[in-house]
Amino acid sequence: MEPRRPVPEPSIPGSLFSISVLGVPVRFHFTFVLLAVFLVFMGLDGPSGAEAAIYVLSLFGCILLHELGHALVARRYGIGTHEIVLFPIGGVARLERNPRPREELWIALAGPAVNLVIAAGLLGAAAAASASVDWESVFARRSGSLLGQIAAGNLLLAAFNMLPAFPMDGGRVLRAALALRIGEERATAVAARAGRAFAILMGLFGLISGNFMLVFVAFFVYLGAAQESAAVLGRALTQGVPVKAAMVTDFRTLGHGDSIRDAANLLLATSQQDFPVVHGDQVLGLLGRSTLLRALAQQGPDGYVAGAMDRDYTVLTPGMDLAEAVPLLAATASCALVMDEGRLLGLLTKENLAEFLMLRRLGMEKPRQQGAMAG
């Protein structure tokens, strides 16, 4: 049986259900659902509460359209969207591959452009209905024009997203423009530093003014900037490196006729956590530590590993780019088998990969430090 490859990118944990919009999976984080339920109950308290609930839910609809703008422009470049996830503070469109700088520039601009188009349409409708728009009242949400208030909200969304700080769209535009000259890694470092600095200033202002929602948003902006910086560093460490450079070549295997007791003894005698189950030169399955312990509790030590092993394991080739293998490994519960034409060559485990990347990072940083000292 051909082992099944897992989905390259697992969904963000905490998503409750999914719908499809224009062929793009849209998922709702449980925190977003809780907020929506809260707004519905708030709307039941009276006309003003209902208007506030409609206003906020309408903005979330505009945020969804914003993310769909990113997804549709990415599709024009041949980049699929793994999913769009809606959170209480906004949405995230997760692309199936990282766009090149010129692609990222237009993909990033597409979201705020959607908000500007929505705002223009709603302001036109509001002006037609009342002959004029009271801008000060609309932005302060004192106006009776709900269309005008939603339009003003879209203008604020576009302006906020275009701030040149990562992970907002403006930060992505900044990174794309810089990457054309100084490379993606250095460009991301600049945009991420701008994002962290902006988040700190936003958080301080929120604390001073007593606006704890602003502090909440600043916290997530800071985390987003840090995560993107780490992700780009990870890509820089893995791109162009074959899987065979990071795989474990000194490993033990189990026979298909071995017992659970044999597997437990091997687990105790070695530092290995995952054992390929073989019959001659043929790989039949993979027995991980958690599966072994569960089988020991359920079947007892006299059970057979053939009945407990996982037949649905992940296979990598030794020449595969490590940057492509990392998402596949992340989707597994244990490790991946490195095989070439049916021959087992090694294992790629999360622990060994982390050590490999740490050593590679130190090896990359040392030449930089020497170059800086020489300069």
Could you tell me if residue 95 is left (phi over 0), alpha (psi between -120 and 50 degrees) or otherwise beta? beta
Mean pLDDT value of segment 108-130? 88
12 has pLDDT over 50: yes
Mean pLDDT value of segment 168-197? 85
Average pLDDT, the chain: 81
Q: Residue 226: its pLDDT value, please? A: 76
Beta 15-21 vs 24-29: how paired, if at all? antiparallel
Task: Identify the band that residue 373 occupies on the pLDDT scale cut at 50, 70 and 90.
Answer: very low
Lowest mean pLDDT of 153-167, 216-230, 317-331, name the range.
216-230
Task: Identify the band that residue 219 occupies on the pLDDT scale cut at 50, 70 and 90.
Answer: confident
Residue 16 DSSP code? E
Kindly state the percentage of the chain with pLDDT values over 70: 84
- CA proximity to 301, closest of 254, 273, 265: 265
Q: Where are the beta strands (DSSP E) in 295-334?
A: 314-316
Task: Identify the band that residue 103 occupies on the pLDDT scale cut at 50, 70 and 90.
Answer: very high
Q: Residue 28: its pLDDT value, please? A: 84
Q: How far is CA 277 from CA 1, 252, 254, 342, 360, in A?
A: 14, 10, 5, 14, 31
196 has pLDDT over 50: yes
66 has pLDDT over 50: yes
- CA proximity to 55, closest of 132, 134, 135, 122: 122
118 has pLDDT over 50: yes
Q: How far is CA 294 from CA 246, 283, 356, in A?
A: 29, 22, 30
Lowest mean pLDDT of 36-50, 166-180, 264-278, 305-319, name the range.
36-50
Beta 335-340 vs 314-316: how paired, if at all? parallel
Q: 369 CB contacts (<8 Å, ≥6 apart)? A: none
Distance (Å, rounded) from C-alpha 197 to C-alpha 220?
A: 13
Q: Residue 51: its pLDDT value, please? A: 73
340 has pLDDT over 80: yes
Could you tell me if residue 199 is left (phi over 0), alpha (psi between -120 and 50 degrees) or otherwise beta? alpha
Task: Identify the band that residue 132 occupies on the pLDDT scale cut at 50, 70 and 90.
Answer: low
Q: How far is CA 39 from CA 33, 54, 78, 138, in A?
A: 10, 8, 38, 21
34 has pLDDT over 80: no
98 has pLDDT over 70: yes
Lowest mean pLDDT of 83-97, 102-116, 316-330, name the range.
83-97
Distance (Å, rounded) from C-alpha 195 to C-alpha 170?
A: 10
Q: Residue 115: its pLDDT value, please? A: 94
Could you tell me which residue, 180 or 184, shows the higher pLDDT?
180
Residue 44 DSSP code? T
Mean pLDDT value of segment 307-320? 89
In the three-class reduction of DSSP (H, G, I as helix; E, B as strand; rest coil), residue 348 is classed as strand
Q: Residue 341: its pLDDT value, please? A: 86
Q: Residue 2: its pLDDT value, please? A: 40
Q: 294 CB contacts (<8 Å, ≥6 apart)? A: 308
For the purposes of burial, counting CB atoms within 10 Å of the CB of 212, is it exposed (0-12), middle (13-18) or buried (19 or more)?
exposed
366 has pLDDT over 70: no
8 has pLDDT over 70: no
Mean pLDDT value of segment 309-326? 87
Place of tokens 């903005």: 59
Q: Residue 345: its pLDDT value, please? A: 92
132: amino acid identity, one letter? S
